[in-house]
Structure 1
């Protein structure tokens, strides 16, 4: 039974001066508090003993974690003190066990730390001795002699130590003398009494034996035993005989219950800090676990492990307490969440197990830069495209999530210089194209012109929205595909001949255009194959769009003249006769190979002459072929041109001799190049330029990055032509050495016209 109110007040006063005994060793704090302490009693200054500053206990959420039962103490949030929260009853908590201790876990956040606190509950004398029954019937025979003894069942006290010590028989060691007053009463009326004081001296006897006597007999269970409820039983056994009157004897039997493994381990998650950042340091505490087993000995000894194997492991921090810590580096892009199983197994035979599952998500950090699907993108765009047309779609992958994986695109750097077009200077790539920041769609800002820009190389940058932001680059090579949007333009004769007159739009612009006229002279009786004139044209397009062919449109049928399909040379088909008339009018069409093809026309007036004019015509034809032009080409002012030619006959003869010398030299070079070893032709280091000897590649002109030197031959004479096919206004020597076979300039379908002399020339 409980103590009285006065006793409680006295104990309360004693608590005010009670000092908590504690020691901080290895993260453990110890206090003591008497049972039945009033709520609010301070057990200890926990925050101060843990070394926390003022206010830090509340800021870091200093708190207790219980293991499935409500604790009778709590932490005051403001002061960080450990105080009594509910009634503490030592007998209810621990029974007869001594000492009686509460084992608590204390948590701190930021960073997560765990401390173990042990509070010893001390005993007070709050329980009176109690007999097994409130009344006892004793039967005594009238003939029992004086001094007969009758055994009574002893009382018990729930307290421990001196608080549970009961009255004993005479014990000299405790009290050696007893003083009693004996009163005698008579049977008269009134009753008279007499008293005498008795002084009883207790003499010492050998009443403290070092051994105990046993009783025999069988003790059977009347119900189910549970070690976890009672580990032992104290039995008072009475032995009574069947005599009249019967006599009895008593003894105490202590029955110890042996434990069997009938309780599986229990696992509690006392704290869980999730999600875990993927860049968390090794050793980071993810969760705090408490493990217990109600059995004892090996049956209650628990082993814990993490299954399946994962980046997490268990660290024992205190008896029955574990920390789930990070043992390996995390990568959210590889595993974004873990299902962790904590398995507890006791040491019984057979062992019992318990499993606690934990879900541990991994939070993302910006540790991956955007990566394009390929390092270099090749994009083909037709010229004259519409402004805003989509050219391609770029995509960069960022395996991070949310803002860390949200990618935006931009044109980083790059552009086109003056060497890539018409010489308009360097322009940034952002003036030609743009990329959508969200979708990565590459669009053209304006129509592209192949003649201005053939290749645009730039970088596209992909940047994520992380902190700090990471980026990746990809190179884009934009090739502008040529379209046949340029008409062949006719050129003036080579070799300084007079410029032909133009008609149509070209005449309005004051330059040579797509329709023009010229004249030439040829002597009567000129043999077949005699070159009369050469038509020259250029196309600003590229490839097949710039591959030109020359056709004789008028006169149709069997005329005395023909035009080289790809060379543009006008020559005789047969010997000229008087029946051919004094003048022939030829209409020549220059057409490219585009789809659809574009064309230009040239009108050539050929006069048939004889005598001095015939010699002049022959010289002009030969010198024109040698110099890739027609010196005899001029305007339609025939009489004045003839007079001028007659005045220079002497110089023409000299020119003929010079040309003849060049022809002989060409033959010698041809023989040397054909029979001499190939290495002997090369002069100095560097790659060689392969020259196509054909009329196909001799005069075809394009805007491509290619240069050709060609020697053409025909049945009439061997003529040397030297041309550098390159951009307008470029110098051959400024490009160094170059070697390339151009299938457009020398197509396979015209192999017969590519046959001839091959000269290897080193351009220094």
Structure 2
């Protein structure tokens, strides 16, 4: 996978210094809100910051933070929604560089975005209908919908309540993905002749201040005779699928059995609501085959945790989980971004004078994302890696303007899947006396 970029420069005496500056701000701050005093934190006065043409470099990312050169401050440029930016990933941070010239200096900056309680728990459905046999035994369990809260930590979903709870109690089970499985447990026998219908209110609450909640109505119809609930053969199924798998690919098959006979022993399968959007990406057949239903992207999600329910005709149910690992393919090319470059350099410049700085990134993982960069030979310049994804072009030997006043420089970057090819060229290069 390859990318090509062309630019022009000449040589002056430059240097490159790398330092790390970090800030932390809450999400949803108003535009213009202060992030930090970058001039002070870099040890520069405002006039020097302006004279050295300070600027922010974000690569291909959206620029949420801007530099106020008049005051030497970093301020919020665009509204930052932590959930839209990072989802459930934590910590959530913006990464960019402050670039200075004369001499060139690059300062990596990290701004951590902390969560606020701006989302309430939400059920995907307003109500759920359950049919339960009056012969259901004490301890029979019925799977309930899980609420989704986009916030994390204490601001995320914390607990559930069920009212009235004359016949049922709630039981929560922690799962590997941190989400609690919600079961309604029968604690008092049902009598269809006394009460054929019941309506319960399931409430999900978070731990924020102020506390937020969401509700779902549960309608219960009491039926006759169903003594056994379905039972999955496994509590968790593990599967994998490549990110370029076609729609219709069978990912795995789940299976549950029910000891009842006839219609009460017939089991159907449904996908729960554990992951937003999972119903668009996957579907399950009547015989338990989990099918890929839409495009998946390793760079967006490396794993999916899918809740599967097995329900019999009497309303009894069991649940299992399918953990799907998404396999990466080499579907991304290295991306080259020029951070800073000079227009000229003196022929008396010292060795290792920096003339350009660039960043190179490949969103693929492991071997697919390893990038190798080289520079063309027989020129008085060298390519050096200043960090995992930053490269500098520096003078490597004496410059002689009378011998060569211009140089063409080609930087070639490629990932591990193919040999290096031209990815960046500097031409012409001019030496100054």
Q: TM-score w.r.t. structure 2 length?
A: 0.63
Q: Which residue of 2 aligns with 1:220?
A: 291
Q: Which protein is richer in helix relative to its size?
A: 1
Distance apart, 1:273 and its partner CA? 0.8
Decide which of 88, 93, 96 is 1:101's aligned counterpart: 93
**Secondary structure in 2 matching 1:138:** strand
Question: In structure 2, do the counterparts of structure 1 residues 156 and 116 end up closer, same or farther at CA, with 3 Å as the change threshold?
Answer: same
Deviations 1:566-618, CA, capped at 9 Å, x for gaps: xxxxxxxxxxxxxxxxxxxxxxxxxxxxxxxxxxxxxxxxxxxxxxxxxxxxx
Distance apart, 1:128 and its partner CA? 1.7
Deviations 1:128-147, CA, capped at 9 Å, x for gaps: 22223344343455776788
Counterpart Cα distance in 2 of 1:310 and 1:40: 47
Deviations 1:659-706, CA, capped at 9 Å, x for gaps: xxxxxxxxxxxxxxxxxxxxxxxxxxxxxxxxxxxxxxxxxxxxxxxx
Contact 2:18 2:108 in 1 (8 A): no
Q: Which residue of 2 aligns with 1:115?
A: 107
Q: Which protein is richer in strand relative to its size?
A: 2
Q: Which residue of 2 aligns with 1:133?
A: 125
Contact 2:360 2:390 in 1 (8 A): yes
Counterpart Cα distance in 1 of 2:411 and 2:361: 13
Deviations 1:16-36, CA, capped at 9 Å, x for gaps: xxxxxxxxx961111111111
Q: Which residue of 2 aligns with 1:313?
A: 382
Q: Which residue of 2 aligns with 1:341?
A: 410
Q: Which residue of 1 aligns with 2:338?
A: 269
Distance apart, 1:37 and its partner CA? 1.4
Contact 2:236 2:322 in 1 (8 A): no
**Secondary structure in 1 matching 2:128:** coil
Deviations 1:712-750, CA, capped at 9 Å, x for gaps: xxxxxxxxxxxxxxxxxxxxxxxxxxxxxxxxxxxxxxx
Q: Which residue of 1 aligns with 2:142?
A: 150
List aligned pairs for 1:358-437, cutoff 5 A: 358-365=426-433
Decide which of 71, 74, 84 is 2:63's aligned counterpart: 71
Counterpart Cα distance in 2 of 1:116 and 1:360: 29
Q: Which residue of 2 aligns with 1:55?
A: 47
Counterpart Cα distance in 1 of 2:406 and 2:376: 15
Q: Which has the larger radius of gyration?
A: 1
Structure 2: 5+ residue runs without aligned partners? Answer: 1-16, 161-169, 173-233, 238-252, 255-288
Contact 1:58 1:78 in 2 (8 A): yes
Decide which of 81, 98, 108 is 1:89's aligned counterpart: 81
Counterpart Cα distance in 2 of 1:340 and 1:69: 27
Q: Which residue of 2 aligns with 1:232?
A: 303
Question: In structure 2, do the counterparts of structure 1 residues 235 and 278 end up closer, same or farther at CA, with 3 Å as the change threshold?
Answer: same
Counterpart Cα distance in 2 of 1:277 and 1:128: 62
Question: In structure 2, do the counterparts of structure 1 residues 304 and 39 end up closer, same or farther at CA, with 3 Å as the change threshold?
Answer: same
Q: Which residue of 1 aligns with 2:373?
A: 304
Q: Which residue of 2 aligns with 1:80?
A: 72
Question: In structure 2, do the counterparts of structure 1 residues 352 and 98 end up closer, same or farther at CA, with 3 Å as the change threshold?
Answer: farther
Q: TM-score w.r.t. structure 1 length?
A: 0.37
Question: In structure 2, do the counterparts of structure 1 residues 364 and 159 end up closer, same or farther at CA, with 3 Å as the change threshold?
Answer: same
Contact 2:37 2:72 in 1 (8 A): yes
Question: In structure 2, do the counterparts of structure 1 residues 58 and 260 end up closer, same or farther at CA, with 3 Å as the change threshold?
Answer: same
State the number of aligned residues.
298
Distance apart, 1:336 and its partner CA? 2.7
List aligned pairs for 1:725-740, cutoff 5 A: none
Question: In structure 2, do the counterparts of structure 1 residues 309 and 298 end up closer, same or farther at CA, with 3 Å as the change threshold?
Answer: farther
Counterpart Cα distance in 1 of 2:299 and 2:348: 46
Question: In structure 2, do the counterparts of structure 1 residues 92 and 308 end up closer, same or farther at CA, with 3 Å as the change threshold?
Answer: farther
**Secondary structure in 1 matching 2:117:** coil
Decide which of 269, 288, 294 is 2:357's aligned counterpart: 288
Distance apart, 1:235 and its partner CA? 1.3
List aligned pairs for 1:246-257, cutoff 5 A: 246-257=315-326
List aligned pairs for 1:718-729, cutoff 5 A: none
Structure 1: 5+ residue runs without aligned partners? Answer: 1-24, 172-211, 366-764
Distance apart, 1:266 and its partner CA? 1.2
Counterpart Cα distance in 1 of 2:298 and 2:27: 25
Distance apart, 1:153 and its partner CA? 2.0
